[in-house]
Amino acid sequence: MQERIKKIQADFESEITKVGNPAELEQVRIKFLSRKGLVPQLFEDFKQLPSDEKPKYGKTLNILKNSIQSKFDQIKQKIDNKAESDVNLVDLSLPGRRAHLGSMHILMQTMYEIRDIFKSLGFSVYEGPELESDYNNFEALNFPEDHPARDMQDTFFINENFLLRTHTSPVQVRLMQNKKPPLRAIMPGKVYRNEAISAKSYCLFHQVEGLYVDNDVTFAELKGTLVAFAKQFFGEEIKYRFRPSFFPFTEPSAEVDIWWEPKGKEGRWMEILGCGMVDPNVLENVGIDPEKYTGYAFGMGVERIAMRKYGIDDIRTFFDNDKRFLIQF
C-alpha cells in the first residue's frame, strides 16, 4: 500500500506539470480523481485492509487526496484565467480601427466658403466685438431713437449704453472710423436678436456683411458682386431676383431672393441678404466725405444660405447638437 501511494503521488506530479490546456487537465482528472480513478481506488482497497493496518494508512491517504486535489485546483484556476485573458487579446491580423476625427460645424464650413469667395473678389476680412455700444450698433448707422430695433423686445441690452450686437454692421463703423477709403471688406460673425425661436428664426445666428467705399462706386457694381457670389456659391443655374427694400443705413436699398425648392415641397423665393448704397449720413457719422466717396454694403444670414444649399428646413437643427445631423457634413 505504501509503495502504491508513493507511485501515484509521483505519477500525478509528473503528469500535472505537463498539462497545458483544459483537455489535458481533464485526462489527468479522469485518471486520478474520477470515481474509477487511482485515488478513489486506493480508498476502496483501504476498506479491505485488516483493522490493525487501517490507522497506519488512513492519514497518509487523506494527505495524498488533499494534496492531489489542491494541486489539481491550482492548475485548473491557472488554465481558466489564461483562457479568459485570451478572449481579450488583440488579433494583430485584423485591420486597424478607423480614428473618428471631429469636423468643422456646417455653419463654419458655410461661413468660410462665403469668406473665400469674397476674398477671391478682392475683399479683406475684418472682425469686431460681439458686445457693442449703442452708438456703433444704431446711432452711427442712422437708426432713429424711436426705431423698433432699439426696444428691449428686439435687442439684448446689457445696460443703457451697451448691447449684444444685432448685426455685424458695427464692424463697418469701426473700419470706416479707423481707415481711409478705398475700403473693401467683409465682416463675418455671430449676432443676437431677441426673437421667438421657430423653424425660421433663432436668438443667435451668423452674418457676413460687406462694405465697399471708394470714388464713384455704383449700384451696378453692387449687383454684379452679389450675382457673382451667388453663382459661385449656388451654381451658374441659380435663379435670383433683387427687390426694392428699406434699411436705415443704405439708400437705395434692396433685398436679394433666390429660388428654393425643398425636397418634396413646393418651390418658393427665399430672402438671403439685404443690400444697398451706403447712406451719406452714415459716411458723415464716421468722418468720410459723402461728396467725394460713395459705397455699397450688404449683409447675409449664414444659416439661411446653408439651409438653401443643403436642403435644411428648420434653423434649430443647426443648434441642437445632434450627432446624427452633424456627421452628414
Sign of the alpha-carbon torsion through 161, 165, 166, 168: positive
Contact criterion met (CB below 8 Å) for 275 and 256:
yes
- What is the residue whose three cell numbers read 488533499? 66
C-alpha 40/C-alpha 33 separation (Å) is 7
Q: Grid coordinates representing 68?
A: 492531489
Q: Give 79-106 as a 3 state SS string.
A: HHHHHHHHHCCCCCCCCCCCCCCCCCCH
Q: Give 137-203 as a 3 state SS string.
A: HCHHHCCCCCCHHHCCCCCCECCCCEEECCCCHHHHHHHHHHCCCCEEEEEEEEEECCCCCCCCCCC
Element (H, E) at 220: helix 219-234
C-alpha 182/C-alpha 241 separation (Å) is 28
pTM over 0.75: no
Write the pLDDT tens digit of every residue in 17-74.
Answer: 888 788 888 888 888 888 888 888 877 777 777 777 777 767 777 787 888 888 888 8
Q: Grid coordinates representing 298?
A: 450688404
For residue 181, the model assigns a pLDDT of 92
- Give me the residues of the chain with pLDDT under 70, please: 1, 57, 83-90, 149-153, 262
Taken as a whole, the chain contains a residue count of: 329
For residue 87, the model assigns a pLDDT of 60
C-alpha 307/C-alpha 316 separation (Å) is 11
For residue 153, the model assigns a pLDDT of 58
For residue 58, the model assigns a pLDDT of 76
Q: Grid coordinates representing 41?
A: 481506488
